[in-house]
Amino acid sequence: MSEKFDVIVIGSGPAGYVAAIRAAQLGLKTACVEKWRDETGKGVNGGTCLNVGCIPSKALLDSSYKYHEAKDELAIHGISTKGVDINVPSMIARKAQIVKQLTGGIAGLFKSNGVTSLFGTGKLLAGKKVEVTDFDGKVVVYEAENVILASGSFPINIPPAAVDNDVIVNSTGALEFSTIPKRLGVIGAGVIGLELGSVWNRLGSKVVVLEALDSFLAIMDQQIAKETQKILTKQGMDIRTSSRVTGSKVTGKEVTVTFLDKDGKEQHETFDKLIVCVGRRPYTENLLAGDSGVNLDERGFIFVNEFCATNAPGVWAIGDVVRGPMLAHKGSEEGVMVAERIAGQKTQMNYDIIPNVIYTHPEVASVGKTEEQIKASGEPYNIGTFPFSASGRAMAANETQGLVKIIAHAVTDRILGAHIVGPSAADLIQQVAIAMEFGSSAEDLGMMVFGHPTLSETIHEAALAVHGHAIHIANKKKR
């Protein structure tokens, strides 16, 4: 008889590996199944995020920005540079080393916490049994008291621009360019498209971003979105909204893309590389046996309740494969919640306060509701904004683009949302997220003492501006 576990997790991305570690910490006998293999064929943990997603893309973003800074931005500090060059293979190798270190780190964490690694493809059978097919084709069926599905997501392909992994690539292929494309096309102006476009734009590519929607970053607060588009355009990215791709033709080592512009006229652009970044789908292929008892919703996600329990007793699902934003940190916290609920705790998760970040430079970050959402709900609200151009710390760092925006309820003053485009936005937004978790008001933030000079003072000033009390800018009259 095969080994039996208290918990088996299928998938070791940020949702799965965190769930496995937390379950093991709580004394549950835990195994984690992972199908990912490195270039040598060896099984590795970390899923999309660590192998071809969050981590490698941030490595390239940081490397490319340091090159751009050394080449174009140090002169203002009195630093002269000559002959600055970028070695793309070395940059890619550094990225690969970071990935190797972090994925190896998960293996170490599994070992220290007593999590059993099972490399191969996992499939949920009826009765909470998990079939694991290893890399050699050997099949073993394990039994579990609880199964956590954390299979993640994969890039969406579109027929007009079929990925060939050479000239036309998805987000994975865009992390492996060996040379800098002179002309780079990006289909999709979402998080991934903007980040990858930024990398190669800084390195010298002429980047054209084609977005089918009429508005830029439609899910973001539109004041911040417009400011972001202005900044990225100034950096050299050619962002074209209302541009629906209808076809593409690869000729040799270049691709010609056909698209309809905002007036419905057919246009053509030729690129050396084309990145398709039009979103991701939940990964459920061969994950569920027909009699597993687990249902999918109308969009192909695994159906779960607010605690990530499926309709099959003892089966849970977390991360990109369930409803909600496809964010690594959202999946990780779901993993903790599920592990603790399996152990008998009453852990809950606040889905209203999940930060979202775009790692362009400057960064874009948000938490809570946008002004458009609040306006549509009919709630009365006040807004406070503060530009980084009025921050002494931002001036000292030559990082003055962007602003902080805080929205509070006009009656209760409770913070409803915060939106930032600017330096260290990813870190600054967390300050507001913590405040919101504890039900803070804009006045609460305004009464706190912030260190000086710091970028976080922009949060303080925006909170003061909600009531017209900002110190370092002229205040707008409140309605």
The residues assigned a catalytic role are 452
What is the C-alpha to C-alpha distance for residues 418 and 403, in angstroms, rounded to an integer? 11
Backbone phi and psi for residue 52, each to the nearest 5 degrees, phi listed first: -140, 25
Q: What angle do CA 157, 332, 48 make, to 5 degrees?
A: 30
**Strand locations in 388-447 (E):** 403-409, 415-422
What is the C-alpha to C-alpha distance for residues 311 and 175, in angstroms, rounded to an integer? 38
Which of 236, 291, 238, 294 lies closest to 267 in space, CA to CA? 238
What is the C-alpha to C-alpha distance for residues 152 and 363, in angstroms, rounded to an integer? 25
* Burial of residue 298 (number of CB atoms within 10 Å: 0-12, 13-18, 19+): exposed
Residues 6+ apart with CB under 8 A from 93: none
Residues 6+ apart with CB under 8 A from 178: 88, 89, 92
What is the C-alpha to C-alpha distance for residues 170 and 162, in angstroms, rounded to an integer? 9
Strands 315-317 and 139-149: parallel
What is the C-alpha to C-alpha distance for residues 190 and 101, in angstroms, rounded to an integer? 28
Question: Taking a C-beta distance cutoff of 8 angstroms, is the pair 259, 245 a contact?
Answer: yes
Question: Taking a C-beta distance cutoff of 8 angstroms, is the pair 426, 357 a contact?
Answer: yes
For the chain, the first-to-last Cα distance in angstroms comes to 72
Residues 6+ apart with CB under 8 A from 62: none
Residues facing residue 405 across a β-bridge: 385, 419
Question: Taking a C-beta distance cutoff of 8 angstroms, is the pair 179, 347 a contact?
Answer: no
Alpha carbon separation from 206 to 62, 90, 233, 330 (Å, rounded): 19, 22, 12, 34
**Strand locations in 120-277 (E):** 121-125, 129-133, 139-149, 153-155, 168-169, 183-187, 206-210, 238-240, 244-251, 254-260, 266-271, 273-276
Which of 146, 56, 82 lies closest to 328 in space, CA to CA? 56
Alpha carbon separation from 339 to 9, 296, 314 (Å, rounded): 10, 22, 12
